[in-house]
Amino acid sequence: MLKNDRFIDSLKDYDEVCWRNPDYLPNPQTPFDLSDIQDAADRLERFAPYIMKAFPETTKSHGIIESELKAIPQMLSALQQKESLDTAAKLYLKCDNALPISGSIKARGGIYEVLKFAETVALESGKLSLTDDYSRLADPEFIQLFSQYSVAVGSTGNLGLSIGIIGAKLGFHTTVHMSHDAKQWKKDLLRKRGVTVVEYAGDFSKAVAKGRQDAESDPMCHFVDDEGSTDLFFGYSVAALRLAKQFDQQGIHISKDNPLFVYLPCGVGGSPGGVAFGLHTVFKENVKVIFVEPTHAPAMLLGMYTHLNDQIAVNDIEIDGKTAADGLAVGKPSRLVGKIMKNILYAETTVDDDRLYEYLTMLADSEGVYLEPSSTAGFAAFVDVNRKLGDQEPSLKHGVHIVWGTGGNMVPPEEMQSYYQKGQSLLQR
């Protein structure tokens, strides 16, 4: 199947591709529905008083972890100029780079999953009831209770940061398994918050498997499984309800004549998959979701194109998985998401690392917003989908286009400065 396949050959050659999903349906069947999203949203509401107390930076939003939807007309002009783009689209940035507590989209799913575990433990103990004021969970009584349990995750990036910060704050013994070459500032930040960071010199995926095994044999430990967790997925999906509310507040009405296009960077697939599922449930045939991955790590695309999902990895077609987009540096997709996305995903593109830095610098210059490289991939998808699919889908030329800014605020300023300079020199070539 993979031999003599021109599309696979272009993936192997690290070409940038634009793939329109032939299985896309405007009204797809899904294994979950609105009640699953609402259940997660209700749980986050119950926790809001706790979040506000434990993380005072969320006072303004009353303990709700949400980001701004920001019109970025200057970035749109800059893109039109640089890419000679012909479009009447309105361009927005969903600023998850600035989400409170952990500065990335992982503050949705990651924090949600740990809160749900804490709620289960607290309810089972008989010390909490659903109608209580959850700010009580910050009391010593509960910190003591949670200290008998542990939370673990294997992640070198933003998921590790999110789980670590919320897990330790609640009082859980929290362990983040990281590869030895993970960034020093991440290890330092987590250790300062009381998280145990375990470093692995060898094969990181084997190390994570070992961490998972250890956790699974311990009934007091909850392991956050990035590759198949439905809790993570539902945590992300709540974004769609919040977005619908923001549209109302800003007087934006999504319809057949004013359709919505959303561009999401994809790693293992949990965050873009959860958001995409939520968006489809809320906006139905009026939304089209586009994923984007690095040319060196097109794990979800390969899984969906071949219908093999998590049964194929990029190494199987001799792709090296090496990319500067560390949030997207994934070889094998989630075992949960590909199947759910089969009829939901509209298209997917891949992007060369250099363009990530260019868009990073352009966004900083035009709008004063700083994203991390993984997080600027959506701009490449916006440009490429408009160029390559605009003729067969004229609605792409107008409507509301949202690039999902998935991370940035956790990156130390010196590091961000070097990303910016790299983009600057690439733009001057």
Ligand X SMILES: *Cc1c(COP(=O)(O)O)cnc(C)c1O
Interacting residues with ligand X (CB under 6 A): 104-106, 157-158, 265-272, 327-328, 372, 374-375, 406-407
> Minimum CB separation from ligand X for residue 266, in Å?
5
Of the candidates 290, 333, 292, the one whose C-alpha atom is nearest the C-alpha of residue 314 is 333
- Residue (21 or 375) nearer to ligand X, CB: 375
> DSSP strand E in 242-335: where?
260-265, 287-294
CA distances from 97 to 15, 106, 205, 402, 411 (A): 28, 10, 27, 14, 10
Q: How far apart are CA 113 and CA 342, in angstroms?
A: 25
> Pairing between strand 69-71 and 90-95?
antiparallel
Q: How far apart are CA 337 and CA 161, in angstroms?
A: 22
- Residue (119 or 226) nearer to ligand X, CB: 226
> Minimum CB separation from ligand X for residue 183, in Å?
13
- Residue (211 or 273) nearer to ligand X, CB: 273
- Residue (259 or 267) nearer to ligand X, CB: 267
> Minimum CB separation from ligand X for residue 291, in Å?
8
- Residue (21 or 286) nearer to ligand X, CB: 21
- Residue (52 or 275) nearer to ligand X, CB: 275
Q: Where are the alpha helices (DSSP H) in 34-91?
A: 34-54, 73-83
> Minimum CB separation from ligand X for residue 158, in Å?
3
> Minimum CB separation from ligand X for residue 208, in Å?
14
> Minimum CB separation from ligand X for residue 222, in Å?
18
Q: How far apart are CA 222 and CA 244, in angstroms?
A: 32
Q: Name residue, tokens 């590091």.
A: 415
The answer to whether 95 touches 68, Cβ cutoff 8 Å, is yes
The answer to whether 122 touches 38, Cβ cutoff 8 Å, is no
Q: From the DSSP assignment, how many helices (H) and strands (E) are in the chain?
A: 15, 11
* ∠ Cα 160 297 345 (to 5°): 90
- Residue (128 or 268) nearer to ligand X, CB: 268
> Minimum CB separation from ligand X for residue 163, in Å?
12
Which residue is closest to ligand X by CB?
A: 267
Q: Name residue, tokens 């294997």.
A: 154
